[in-house]
């Protein structure tokens, strides 16, 4: 891109709000300095204004478009004193380069001002628009560059003068160590520069032009302004990129670049067959190459040009021979005959013991010409390369793989990305000038209207509004209702808004809104402009009125496409609100053991073609399918960026039903789920590698079944503990979820819609990720009724209440003197609390600290997986499982549905009784204050009066001591009947007797 276009970063400094007064007179004269990639710009000063508006556009040149995502844009606000003194700091904003958007997608975003130190007094927010533009470079670059540099130096001078002295010192301190360390970084960058030219020996001329075109212009432009400063800035820039690459690898980095340190290196025999050369070059008969290793045999496609350039990867552990034979064959067609005759052009053999080994980052092995040994023909040659490598070889991804069936797309490893989702909010305000009818009908009838909007398959309607007995020309109904959709990029072309007349069941008219032109906003503070659209009827009615709406794409929300308890991403939809990742998640999918057969092969024996799908955030990864093995070994490693530690990684194992064992089979089956593993990242220690085997259990209509085990290696690395701790103190979801929340019902509808959109997009990929796979990974059936899940949740509640019951039994044991020494000790503790009340809280927190510190040694050291016992899969009946897998609506007979309904009624009856008891206790307490029982409330009033007089005379310490001794008295001094307060409370009225 650097050769064909120039990239500019545009920063629009719009305004600021609620700044901190810094001039001693309750105001501030603010200006902004913007730093990016060694360039600095400054805005004008707005005098005595805590809400300044600049509306200035600043341009920056992006020197390296590839590393723009690693750069940081910093905007600092200062109070301009203009008296020779240094300017005071008002706050700063730092924006990662990964949050920059292309021109056309920018929107006004208000960033809260950050402090420079803990003791800084900063408040307010800064409104910015940040985007970049790609434009063609000017024709004479040598003449234009000096002209571009001149205004930069003029702008930089006042910015440097206005810069505080303390910040200059801090920058000098930061730059000093960088210059020393960057010499080593520069050496490291110079070392790998030759290999890219050698990586592709086939086209050496492609590697030379970048060196000749790019470097000289850069050298000339750097020397003219200031050679030392430019070299220093370049070194600092390179070191920052190198450090970031070492600490956090990119999310988009391909699998070939990963270190593969979490998995075992699998040896593969690679054979790259490039082309052949025959003695009879004029022959245009199809030629193919054939590879044979013991019983393994594979051949290339027949081509007349003898140019294949194919790579074959054989699992070395599955080879049953020590020699490789590569032969070239020609298909000659006899005259006056339709059949073809295959003739061998020769064979070349390799001893596998002498094949060289290659380990990346070594350059690829160059192919060579080998003479073919043949008795019938001579002078034939084949160009090929043979080496032994691992799955980390870059040729592995596009090679024919022996363990996954070759080059079949449905068995290859792939990486998928979920579509970017937005909430689309349509506010229907009102309509005007509706043509509802003509003549006396329009005046007599009372039309009832509503508005429906459709985006793709999503359809929502407003409430109905009655126009009244008015003429057709004055029908102006008003709704002011919001309709929220889920929009996926690339967007549907149009949002269709239709006004419907319920009275006659006909459409009044419709309008189409182009989705790509809809305004985007990141918060509720951005004012949206409403728009009028003309309504169009059928061909005979080109105009039937107009509708007033407000529409926008909400970028401040995170669109939930997973169940809330297993979410893996909580970022807002707008890229401008994205924050830098706090860590890196590395997962090594090593293998599986003892998998059960899922299907039959050739109708005789069971087999399993297993592959693994891992999902975290928007990135889905799919391993290659290992065919016909019950103990497959994938040994594939993947990475994800982590933005929030309290998220969940989901890994699923499936049997490939789309792979055809029998070529005659026409119908493709569905992928069968083998099991699923979930790991919460917050339960992992940072920078520690976990090697564990997890049980794979799946719930089937016949019951729970253990399908085998999967071996996974996982590491959650974090470069900054401070960022990790700050993540725990920030809200889980973006700001808009709390400022303008959505109701539970609306959230559930939108979540199901988002799941369907993700499923549709991934099933249309190539190769497709099946609908059954995506829904199983996203838990799309969590909202469906299940007796098993209800029982599991019930026992979870009972488990929590058990702790409370244990504490109550322990207290009752002290009160009843079950263990006299403990009861005596509690009396002593009661006296100590009364005499020294200021030590109560320190004692409680110290006791909690000691308990937690003691339990640290017993913490869970293995990441928890899905628990079959907690899921209640071992204690559920067949009919309950059949009910769980039944669709909606049900497809079972009426007798079965009646039995299930009666069972559900019995369970709901117990639940409603429990809820009624809880409600009755709250209503009794409320009745005490509402005079619902005048006598009971009168007794309570007298008690309050007497208690106030008693507590006025009796010290509070004496009361606490007396009550404590009375509560802990010996059982011989205690009555078996309920106490007076308990009897009094149970006699209070509730609303239970008013329920029909």
% residues pLDDT > 90 (the chain): 29
Residue 655 has, within 13 A of its CA and on its CB side, a CA count of: 27
Question: Which residues are CB-contacts of 861 (< 8 A; sequence separation ≥ 6)?
Answer: none
Look up the pTM and report it: 0.73
DSSP string, 653-673: EEE-SSS-SSTT-----PPEE
Sheet-wide strand order for 340-351: 296-299, 287-293, 323-333, 340-351
Mean pLDDT of 569-591: 91
Residue 492 has, within 13 A of its CA and on its CB side, a CA count of: 18
- Output the pLDDT for position 326: 92
Report residue 830's pLDDT band, with 50, 70 and 90 as the boundaries.
confident
- Output the pLDDT for position 722: 86
Adjacent-strand bridge partners of 428? 481, 549
- Output the pLDDT for position 438: 54
SS (H, E, C) 568-606: CCCCCCCHHHCCCCCEEEEEEEEEEECCCCCEEECCCEE
Render pLDDT for 484-535 as a digit per residue (tens, 0 to 9): 999 999 999 999 999 998 888 888 899 999 998 899 998 888 788 899 999 9
Task: Please tell me the class of the 267-402 domain.
Answer: mainly beta
Q: How far apart are CA 412 and CA 615, in angstroms?
A: 17
Report residue 993's pLDDT band, with 50, 70 and 90 as the boundaries.
low
The fold of 6-135 is: Immunoglobulin-like (2.60.40)
Which residue's structure tokens are 């993947």? 638
Q: Which one-letter DSSP state was computed for residue 779? A: T
Q: Which one-letter DSSP state was computed for residue 373? A: B
Render pLDDT for 259-297 as a digit per residue (tens, 0 to 9): 678 998 889 999 999 998 887 766 678 888 999 988 888
Pairwise pLDDT comparison (333 vs 468), residue with the higher score: 333
Give yes or no for a contact between 709 and 715, defined as CB atoms under 8 angstroms apart: no
Render pLDDT for 14-29 as a digit per residue (tens, 0 to 9): 999 889 888 778 888 9
Render pLDDT for 113-140 as a digit per residue (tens, 0 to 9): 988 877 778 889 999 999 999 876 655 5
Report residue 83's pLDDT band, with 50, 70 and 90 as the boundaries.
low
Backbone angles phi, psi at 533, to 5 degrees: -125, 140
Question: Which residues are CB-contacts of 159 (< 8 A; sequence separation ≥ 6)?
Answer: 33, 40, 41, 42
**Nearest in space to 133 (alpha carbons), one of 153, 156, 108, 105:** 105
CA 795 from chain centre, in angstroms, equals: 31
- Output the pLDDT for position 259: 62
Pairwise pLDDT comparison (225 vs 619), residue with the higher score: 619
Question: Which residues are CB-contacts of 133 (< 8 A; sequence separation ≥ 6)?
Answer: 7, 8, 10, 102, 103
Mean pLDDT of 892-911: 78
- Output the pLDDT for position 34: 94
- Tell me if 267-402 shares its fold with 420-436+447-554: yes
- Output the pLDDT for position 281: 67
Give yes or no for a contact between 653 and 625, defined as CB atoms under 8 angstroms apart: no
Task: Please tell me the class of the 420-436+447-554 domain.
Answer: mainly beta
Element (H, E) at 234: helix 208-247
Mean pLDDT of 689-709: 88
Mean pLDDT of 306-326: 87
Mean pLDDT, the chain, integer: 79
Positive or negative, the CA dihedral 514, 520, 524, 530 is negative
Mean pLDDT of 687-694: 92
- Output the pLDDT for position 137: 62
% residues pLDDT > 70 (the chain): 82
- Output the pLDDT for position 93: 92
Q: Is the pLDDT of residue 178 over 70?
A: no
- Output the pLDDT for position 669: 78
Which residue's structure tokens are 């700050």? 726
Hey, where are the domains in the chain?
A: 6-135, 267-402, 420-436+447-554, 575-723, 789-994
- Output the pLDDT for position 899: 82
When mean pLDDT is compared across 129-133, 250-254, 330-334, 353-357, the lowest value belongs to 250-254
Give yes or no for a contact between 391 and 268, defined as CB atoms under 8 angstroms apart: yes
Peptide bond into 493 cis (omega under 30): no
Phi-psi region of 522 (alpha: psi -120 to 50; beta: other; left: phi over 0): alpha
Pairwise pLDDT comparison (6 vs 974), residue with the higher score: 6
Beta-strand pair 400-401/633-642: unpaired
Q: Is the pLDDT of residue 147 over 70?
A: no
Measured CA distances, 822 to 804, 812, 832, 883, 969 (Å):
20, 12, 15, 52, 13
Question: Which residues are CB-contacts of 300 (< 8 A; sequence separation ≥ 6)?
Answer: 273, 288, 289, 290, 308, 310
Question: Which residues are CB-contacts of 667 (< 8 A; sequence separation ≥ 6)?
Answer: none
- Output the pLDDT for position 144: 43
Report residue 84's pLDDT band, with 50, 70 and 90 as the boundaries.
low
Render pLDDT for 423-436 as a digit per residue (tens, 0 to 9): 999 999 999 888 87
Report residue 184's pLDDT band, with 50, 70 and 90 as the boundaries.
very low
Mean pLDDT of 450-470: 85
Q: How far apart are CA 562 and CA 570, in angstroms?
A: 10
**Nearest in space to 277 (alpha carbons), one of 332, 348, 328:** 328
Q: Is the pLDDT of residue 166 over 80?
A: no
CA 26 from chain centre, in angstroms, equals: 44
Report residue 142's pLDDT band, with 50, 70 and 90 as the boundaries.
very low
Give yes or no for a contact between 431 and 547, defined as CB atoms under 8 angstroms apart: yes
Burial 478-502 (b: 16+ CB within 10 A, else e): ebebebbbbbbeebbeebebbbbbe
Give yes or no for a contact between 339 and 311, defined as CB atoms under 8 angstroms apart: no
Q: How far apart are CA 745 and CA 595, in angstroms?
A: 40
Give yes or no for a contact between 123 and 30, defined as CB atoms under 8 angstroms apart: no
Sheet-wide strand order for 307-315: 368-371, 381-389, 268-277, 307-315, 400-401
Give yes or no for a contact between 716 and 642, defined as CB atoms under 8 angstroms apart: yes
Sheet-wide strand order for 619-622: 414-417, 619-622, 610-616, 648-655, 672-680
Q: How far apart are CA 629 and CA 594, in angstroms?
A: 9
Q: What is the CA radius of gyration of the chain?
A: 37
575-723 CATH, one of 1.10.357.10, 3.40.50.720, 2.30.38.10, 2.60.40.150: 2.60.40.150
């Amino acid at each position: 891109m650097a050769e064909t276009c120039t990239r500019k970063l545009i920063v629009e400094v719009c305004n600021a709000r609620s700044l901190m007064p810094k001039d001693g007179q309750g105001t501030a004269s603010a200006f902004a300095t913007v730093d990016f990639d060694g360039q600095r710009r400054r805005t004008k000063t707005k005098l005595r204004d805590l809400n300044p508006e600049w509306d200035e556009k600043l341009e920056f040149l992006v020197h390296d478009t590839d590393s723009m995502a690693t750069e940081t844009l910093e905007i600092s606000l200062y109070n301009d004193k203009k008296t020779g003194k240094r300017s005071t700091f008002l706050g700063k904003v730092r924006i990662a380069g990964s949050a920059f958007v292309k021109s056309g997608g920018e929107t006004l975003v208000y960033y809260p001002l950050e402090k420079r130190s803990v003791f800084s007094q900063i408040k307010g927010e800064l409104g910015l628009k940040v985007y970049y533009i790609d434009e063609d470079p000017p024709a004479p670059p040598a003449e234009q560059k000096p002209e571009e540099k001149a205004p930069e130096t003029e702008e930089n001078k006042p910015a440097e003068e206005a810069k505080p002295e303390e910040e200059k010192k801090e920058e000098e301190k930061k730059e000093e160590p960088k210059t020393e360390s960057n010499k080593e970084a520069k050496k490291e960058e110079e070392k790998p520069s030759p290999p890219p030219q050698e990586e592709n020996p086939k086209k050496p001329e492609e590697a030379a032009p970048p060196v000749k075109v790019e470097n000289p212009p850069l050298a000339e432009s750097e020397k003219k302004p200031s050679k030392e400063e430019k070299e220093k800035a370049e070194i600092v820039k390179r070191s920052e990129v190198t450090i970031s690459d070492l600490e956090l690898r990119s999310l988009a980095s391909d699998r070939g670049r990963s270190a593969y340190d979490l998995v075992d290196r699998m040896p593969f025999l690679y054979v790259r067959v490039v082309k052949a050369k025959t003695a009879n070059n004029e022959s245009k008969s199809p030629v193919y190459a054939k590879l044979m290793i013991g019983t393994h045999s594979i051949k290339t496609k027949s081509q007349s040009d003898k140019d294949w350039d194919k790579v074959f990867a054989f699992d070395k552990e599955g080879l049953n021979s020590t020699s490789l034979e590569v032969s070239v064959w020609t298909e000659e067609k006899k005259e006056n005959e339709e059949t073809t005759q295959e003739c061998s052009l020769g064979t070349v053999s390799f001893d596998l013991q002498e094949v060289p080994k290659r380990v990346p980052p070594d350059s690829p092995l160059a192919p060579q010409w080998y003479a073919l040994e043949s008795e019938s023909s001579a002078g034939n040659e084949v160009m090929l390369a043979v080496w032994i490598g691992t799955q980390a070889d870059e040729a592995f991804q596009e090679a024919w793989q022996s363990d996954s069936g070759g080059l079949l797309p449905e068995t290859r490893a792939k990486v998928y990305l979920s579509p970017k989702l937005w909430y689309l909010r349509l506010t229907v305000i009102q309509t005007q000038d509706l043509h509802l009818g003509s003549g006396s009908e329009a005046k007599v009838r009372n039309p009832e209207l509503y508005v429906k909007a459709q985006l793709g398959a999503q359809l929502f309607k407003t409430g109905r509004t009655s126009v009244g007995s008015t003429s057709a020309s004055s029908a102006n109904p008003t709704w002011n209702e919001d309709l929220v959709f889920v929009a996926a990029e690339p967007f549907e072309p149009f949002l269709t808004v239709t006004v419907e007349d319920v009275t006659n069941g006909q459409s009044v008219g419709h309008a189409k809104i182009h989705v790509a032109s809809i305004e985007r906003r990141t918060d509720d503070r951005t004012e949206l402009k409403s728009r009028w659209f003309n309504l169009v009827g059928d061909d005979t009615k080109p105009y039937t009125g107009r509708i007033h709406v407000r529409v926008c794409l909400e970028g401040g929300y995170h669109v939930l496409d997973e169940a809330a308890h297993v979410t893996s991403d909580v970022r807002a939809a707008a890229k401008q609100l994205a924050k830098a990742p706090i860590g890196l998640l590395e997962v090594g999918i090593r293998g599986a053991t003892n998998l059960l057969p899922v299907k039959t092969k050739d109708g005789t024996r069971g087999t399993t073609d297993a592959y693994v799908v891992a999902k975290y955030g928007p990135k889905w990864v799919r391993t290659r399918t290992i065919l016909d093995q019950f103990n497959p070994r994938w040994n594939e490693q993947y990475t994800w960026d982590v933005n929030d530690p309290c998220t969940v990684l989901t890994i699923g194992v499936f049997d490939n039903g789309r792979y055809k064992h029998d070529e005659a089979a026409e119908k493709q089956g569905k992928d069968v789920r083998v099991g699923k593993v979930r790991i919460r990242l917050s339960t992992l220690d940072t920078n520690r590698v976990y090697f564990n085997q997890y049980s794979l259990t799946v719930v089937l209509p016949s019951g729970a079944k253990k399908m085998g085990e999967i071996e996974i290696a996982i590491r959650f690395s974090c470069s900054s503990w401070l960022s990790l701790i700050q993540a725990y103190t920030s809200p889980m979801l973006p700001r808009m979820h709390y400022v303008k929340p959505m109701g539970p019902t609306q959230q559930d509808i939108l979540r199901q819609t988002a799941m369907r959109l993700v499923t549709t997009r991934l099933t249309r990929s190539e190769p497709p990720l099946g609908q059954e796979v995506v829904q199983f990974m996203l838990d799309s059936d969590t909202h469906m009724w299940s007796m098993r899940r209800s029982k599991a949740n019930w026992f979870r509640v009972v488990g929590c209440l058990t702790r409370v019951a244990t504490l109550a039994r322990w207290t009752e044991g002290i009160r009843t003197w079950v263990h006299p020494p403990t009861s005596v000790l509690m009396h002593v503790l009661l006296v100590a609390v009364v005499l020294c009340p200021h030590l109560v809280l320190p004692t409680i927190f110290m006791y909690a600290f000691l308990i937690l510190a003691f339990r640290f040694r017993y913490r869970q050291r293995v990441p928890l997986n899905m628990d079959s016992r907690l899921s209640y899969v071992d204690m559920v009946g067949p009919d309950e499982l059949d009910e769980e897998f039944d669709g909606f609506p049900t497809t079972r007979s009426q007798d079965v549905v009646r039995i299930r309904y009666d069972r559900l009624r019995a369970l709901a009856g117990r639940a409603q009784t429990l809820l009624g008891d809880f409600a009755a206790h709250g209503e009794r307490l409320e009745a005490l204050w509402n005079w619902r029982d005048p006598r009971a409330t009168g007794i309570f009033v007298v008690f309050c009066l007497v208690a106030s007089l008693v507590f006025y005379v009796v010290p509070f310490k004496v009361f606490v001591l007396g009550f404590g001794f009375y509560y802990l008295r010996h059982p011989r001094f205690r009555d078996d009947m309920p106490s007076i307060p308990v009897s009094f409370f149970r006699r209070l009225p509730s609303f239970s007797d008013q329920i029909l």
